A and B are shown apart, each in its own frame.
Chain A
Amino acid sequence: MLFNSYVFIFVFLPIVLAGFALLRGASNPLWPITWLVLASLFYYAWWRPEFLLLLLSSVTVNFGLGKLIIDEDLSRAQSRAVLTAGIIFNLSLLGYFKYAGFFVANLNNVVGAHWAVPNIVLPIGISFITFQKIAFLVDAHRGLVRNFTLLNYAFFVTFFPQLIAGPITHHSEIMPQIGPSQRRDFAADVAVGLSIFVVGLFKKVVIADSLAVYADAGYAMVKAGHPLDTASAWVTVLCYSFQLYYDFSGYSDMAVGLARMFGFQLPLNFYSPYKAASIVDFWRRWHITLSRFLRDYLYIPLGGNRRMPVRRYLNLGIVMLLGGLWHGANWTFVIWGAVHGLMLAVNHAWNALPLSRLPVLQGAKARRIAILVTFVAVTLAWVPFRADTLSDAKTMLAYLLPTTVDSFDSIRLFLKVQFWDFKGFVMVTQWFRPRELWPPVLPPDYLATGVRPLGPFLLWVGIATFTMPNTYQIFGRFQPALGLPEAAMKSSVLTRLDRPIAVIVAAMFLLSVLRLSHVSPFLYYQF
């Protein structure tokens, strides 16, 4: 059950919200939390009920291990042994479900064997849940976890807004909110949460899904072995870059908004990452909760930046490689992680040079150039992340390089058709022209034609991304997320939620809901 589905928006959420509203007035403060845990388990079981057993077993084992570490009078060595067992247990589950097939396939390649590659269905959210549980056990071992109950622990792990795709919450953020959440202003939380949810839904369904059409088309052509001109290749990778941002950050916004409806604040996960002026800065703004986990539970234990620079860069490389592999069991993700590890190391090395602190490199102009360079680097790094195989990634990267005069011609044609030849209403009617999919199969260079208003759309998305405030800057006054910079709260775009805002939010909601279903023209060859 995705957040962007009819059943979630019109059935599940209203029922859970109504139940929560009723129960929060009950004499027993455990009831609303019990209700949310049950709703979360139902939500998890919706896709494949059999995985509920896995989730419950995992929660029970981790709860038991946590209790053992905290409540029993264990020596340091005993506590470490229990922690090690817990980490092995959690990583084994992740390893089996996510990496067994990848491991066997690669082993077959290396030793020339023919073992059957297991086709294991990945339980949703397992990557996120595993990190949460490991962080909890590590902190219990460090003495950072005090008292907790099975209900609180189950709530922390399974709370449905963050269960499937994060943000990766920390127990120290969620558990202290359990009691106070029921004493908050429910109507105000629903108003703020619903508004943030709608913004996230709009980002995901209207912007990201619209861009996905073009990104998917370009990558599908590469996969099918069709040539792609330079303009189309750039349009494809740019569309994917923006698609990924609006998709993932939109989903995170929805999670933050949903949690807020129930009186909880989730941690900040995205903060205008494409406005970053360096790769280091990018990772402080992109998937912030993952970066935080990797930093606290991998990078720092490896030695962090307390060692020699070379060791520090090696640590960064290891962290990013594993971070890449966490995204998926494919060498494409490993390469993506390695590229980012390398870029981070270069960035840190550059920062260590006195040259980097020259006044000329500190001005607004230099910052704008740095933002552009960072964005292009990140966008190019998304190519192996998106491609199905390393070979596809290589092909796409090759198409991006303008090697011949034709390459520049395709870019010129794209700009000409999409912008310079713009003839007002005549052009607009061309976008709306009938039989726009006739011939039904679009020509390979369709991205660079005037069939769709892709150029203006991409331009609008780019301008919005680089100049507009993000969701948390818009709603800063209402403390939408944990870990929000003080400045964002003070310079909040919205100072009140009133009728004009309601009109805009309602329009965004309707547009988003209307986008949930499509009339797909039937594409066929006339034969």
Chain B
Amino acid sequence: MIESGYLRSLAGSLAIWLGLFLAVTWTIDPYGVSPIRIALPGINVLKPKRLDIDRVLKPYEVWRYQPRTIFLGTSRFQQAIDPSVLDGTRFAPAYNASIPKGSVAMNADYLRQYVRLDHNLRTVIVELFLNNFLGPPDAGAPSAWSEFIGNAVTLFASSDTLWASIATLAHNVVNGRPTFEIKPGGYLYYPPGHNPQGPFDGFVTWMWSPDRGEPDRPMLYPSVFESFREIIEIARAHDIELIFVATPNHAYVDYYYDVVGAWGLIEEWLVKLSRQATVYSFAQPNAWVYEPVDSRMAYWNDTFHFSLTMGRGMLAALARLPMPDLPGDFMERLTPERVASHIESRRGAVRLWAQANPAFVMRALERRKWLAGQAVRKPE
């Protein structure tokens, strides 16, 4: 009834199935983590499943690649910073560990984790995004070893890996077109043909939307500054060079700041930050930052996310690499003393821009008025 070698057959079959699983998933390598890196055109070169799994993937890749420089930030950094630009500089090898919707508290937790995982770490470049300081702090990131190991296991040995392998194979064989994916350096690749017009057209509606609380009354949250301070202390404790980067804002966003009277708040924000750390700004208005809206844009993926080209310029400026067509005032070292003039230049530039774009201004003001009307009608 029970074959004498049944348990042995069971163990043997399990070993064979496991071997097959590893052969398939390591060869197709849907998440780009395989120990045997084989690039097979038409089979596994495109990795559509290497997307939206930054929190699982990036701590593992930081541990695996042991970069000298790490970028921490939100989806803005994630989409724009190709660290291979820094190859050959004092920052190399670098890795873009930015996480979409990464809060300041999360960045502090990730940094705490990365100093344990990456013994080669010398420089950390952190994105400063005003929105992260305008709301209550988000929860931090899980940084326990168990979380790290659990995530690494799921990348290698889970049914998702098998499913993603089939999906990767199907996409390479049937579709074959480049698609969104996280490239080996950790940045998000946008396939050619992307049209940013939609997000720009929808900006006004989104910005003054009833779902956004009180968009006309932005407010700094002091507790977020504690996480900022934490990042500085972690870096200091581990002798790590820390650079903060105030990222570009398109004219649409600067106009919003102007119309809601947020310049004082931005000034306070930048003074506080630059008093405590090294801050470089790329938010000065120039031809790149205020690029006219079109169906094809060189420097912007959408209203908030700047492109790889913009990111390349930022990295070139930071690493003092030659880049001929870079605007003259592209990068500015911010000190508490220079913040006021920085703000003044932005305010002046956006007002000039507004005069040149009356259609946008009219739409924005109408929408703002509509939202104010909604608020009045809302029962107490």
Chain A residues with CB under 8 Å of chain B are 187-188, 190-192, 194, 206, 425, 428-429, 432-435, 437-438, 440, 477-478, 495-499, 501-503, 505-507, 509-511, 514-527
- Any chain A CB within 8 A of the CB of B167? yes
Q: Once the chains bind, are B161 and A524 in contact (CB under 8 Å)? A: no
Q: Count how many chain B residues have C-beta atoms less than 8 Å from C-beta atoms of the other chain.
A: 53
Q: Using known A-B contacts A425-B174, A429-B170, A517-B154, determine if residue A502 contacts B9 with beta carbons closer than 8 Å.
A: yes
How distant is the Cα of A515 from the Cα of B154 in the complex, in angstroms? 9
| 8 Å CB interface, B58-106 against A | 75, 99-101
**Known contacts A503-B9, A520-B56, A521-B52; 5 further A-B pairs (Cβ under 8 A):** A429-B170, A434-B49, A435-B179, A505-B10, A506-B10
Q: Once the chains bind, are B7 and A191 in contact (CB under 8 Å)? A: yes
Most buried by B among A187, A425, A507, A517: A517
Question: Closest CB-CB distance, A296 to chain B, in whole Å?
Answer: 34
How distant is the Cα of A187 from the Cα of B5 in the complex, in angstroms? 10
Q: Once the chains bind, are A429 and B171 in contact (CB under 8 Å)? A: yes
Q: Once the chains bind, are A435 and B48 in contact (CB under 8 Å)? A: yes
Q: Using known A-B contacts A432-B171, A499-B3, A514-B159, determine if residue A506 contacts B14 with beta carbons closer than 8 Å.
A: yes
Please give, as numbers and ranges, the residues of chain B lying within 8 Å of A435 by CB-CB distance. Answer: 48, 51, 179-180
Q: Once the chains bind, are A518 and B160 in contact (CB under 8 Å)? A: yes
How distant is the Cα of A197 from the Cα of B11 in the complex, in angstroms? 15
Most buried by A among B1, B18, B150, B159: B159
Q: Once the chains bind, are A517 and B1 in contact (CB under 8 Å)? A: no
Interface string of B39-59 (1 = CB under 8 A from A): 000000000110111111000
How distant is the Cα of A247 from the Cα of B302 in the complex, in angstroms? 45
| 8 Å CB interface, B92-135 against A | 99-101, 131
Q: Using known A-B contacts A191-B7, A502-B9, A517-B154, determine if residue A527 contacts B160 with beta carbons closer than 8 Å.
A: no
Please give, as numbers and ranges, the residues of chain A lying within 8 Å of B179 by CB-CB distance. Answer: 434-435
Q: Once the chains bind, are B52 and A478 in contact (CB under 8 Å)? A: no
- Any chain A CB within 8 A of the CB of B166? yes
Interface string of B1-44 (1 = CB under 8 A from A): 11101110111111011100100000000010000000000000
Q: Once the chains bind, are B13 and A503 in contact (CB under 8 Å)? A: yes
Q: Which of A428, A438, A510 contacts B14, CB < 8 Å?
A: A510
Most buried by B among A188, A425, A432, A503: A432
25 contacts between A and B (CB under 8 A): A429-B174, A434-B49, A434-B179, A435-B48, A438-B51, A440-B52, A496-B3, A497-B3, A498-B3, A501-B6, A503-B13, A505-B10, A505-B13, A506-B13, A509-B14, A514-B162, A515-B158, A516-B158, A518-B158, A519-B154, A521-B51, A522-B54, A522-B55, A524-B101, A526-B304
Q: Once the chains bind, are B166 and A517 in contact (CB under 8 Å)? A: no
Residue of B nearest to A432 (CB): B167
Q: Which 7 A-B pairs have the closest CB atoms?
A: A434-B48, A506-B13, A502-B9, A432-B167, A521-B52, A519-B160, A517-B154
Please give, as numbers and ranges, the residues of chain A lying within 8 Å of B155 by CB-CB distance. Answer: 519
How distant is the Cα of A423 from the Cα of B31 in the complex, in angstroms? 28
How distant is the Cα of A206 from the Cα of B160 in the complex, in angstroms? 12
Q: Which of A191, A501, A510, A525 contacts B18, CB < 8 Å?
A: A510
- Any chain A CB within 8 A of the CB of B246? no
Chain B residues with CB under 8 Å of chain A are 1-3, 5-7, 9-14, 16-18, 21, 31, 48-49, 51-56, 75, 99-101, 131, 150, 153-155, 157-162, 164, 166-167, 170-171, 174-175, 179-181, 302, 304-305
Q: Once the chains bind, are A428 and B3 in contact (CB under 8 Å)? A: no
Q: Once the chains bind, are B161 and A514 in contact (CB under 8 Å)? A: yes
Q: Which of A498, A516, A521 contacts B53, CB < 8 Å?
A: A521
Question: Closest CB-CB distance, B146 to chain A, in whole Å?
Answer: 11
Question: Closest CB-CB distance, B4 to chain A, in whole Å?
Answer: 8
How distant is the Cα of A183 from the Cα of B263 in the complex, in angstroms? 84
Residue of A nearest to B160 (CB): A519
Q: Once the chains bind, are A432 and B166 in contact (CB under 8 Å)? A: yes
Please give, as numbers and ranges, the residues of chain B lying within 8 Å of A433 by CB-CB distance. Answer: 167, 171, 175
Q: Once the chains bind, are B9 and A517 in contact (CB under 8 Å)? A: no
Residue of B nearest to A495 (CB): B1
Please give, as numbers and ranges, the residues of chain A lying within 8 Å of B302 by CB-CB distance. Answer: 526
Question: Closest CB-CB distance, B63 to chain A, in whole Å?
Answer: 17
How distant is the Cα of A433 from the Cα of B51 in the complex, in angstroms? 12
